């Protein structure tokens, strides 16, 4: 087991955002909940959907902030405080324009890369030193804001399913074997 006790997927709440590129973090969380046979419940006055996954004898919280993306840090900070966790115990999962669709990148820490949700978490936590997993959605030729809020094309859906399955495997590997092992295994995955 690792020191990760909280896995947060970023996305925007509401039916109009379901299935959009910007909600890959939520998609990973939904698949993880199924993988660990757990279900999300509203907590923190409805600002977070959280589930508890049992990995061996340990419990890990899976969470989906119900604030909009650029306010995700508020929900993450409340989860860290409520559970007496340091930012190092967090694994943040989110979409990334700078990775091609179908690529994963696990990192120990780093900048936000311009991702507003990650900016919010860094600002709220007071540090960028927390583990994360970037899920590639590819870069558009047009406007990035419209692109991230769009849904995947039919010809992309098979690849999306494959990367979501790999993302679940990557998170499980992080939780059971640690970041370094998961990075060696999944950062090369295509």
Question: What amino acid positions are annotated as catalytic residues?
Answer: 22
- Judge contact between 44 and 78, C-beta under 8 A: yes
SS3 98: coil
Check residue 151 and report its DSSP letter: B
Q: Where are the beta strands (DSSP E) in 38-89?
A: 41-43, 48-55, 58-65
Question: Torsions phi, psi of 92, nearest 5?
Answer: -100, 130
- Separation CA 28–CA 102 (nearest Å): 13
Contacts of residue 88, defined as CB under 8 A and 6 or more positions apart, other chains included, come to 3, 129, 130, 131
């Amino acid at each position: 087991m690792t020191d990760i006790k909280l896995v947060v997927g970023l996305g925007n709440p509401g039916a109009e955002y379901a299935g959009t590129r910007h909600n890959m973090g939520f998609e990973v969380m939904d698949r993880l909940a199924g993988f660990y046979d757990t279900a999300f419940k509203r907590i923190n006055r409805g600002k977070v959907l959280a589930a508890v996954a049992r990995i061996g004898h340990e419990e890990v919280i899976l969470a989906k902030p119900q604030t909009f993306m650029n306010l995700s840090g508020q929900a993450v900070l409340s989860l860290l405080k409520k559970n007496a966790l340091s930012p190092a115990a967090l694994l943040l999962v989110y979409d990334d324009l700078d990775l091609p669709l179908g690529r994963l990148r696990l990192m120990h820490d780093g900048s936000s890369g311009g991702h507003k949700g990650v900016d919010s978490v860094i600002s709220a936590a007071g540090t960028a030193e927390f583990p994360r997993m970037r899920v590639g959605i590819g870069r558009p030729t047009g406007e990035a804001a419209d692109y991230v809020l769009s849904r995947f094309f039919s010809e992309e859906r098979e690849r999306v399913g494959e990367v979501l399955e790999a993302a679940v495997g990557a998170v499980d590997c992080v939780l059971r074997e640690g970041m370094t092992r998961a990075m060696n295994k999944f950062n090369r995955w295509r």
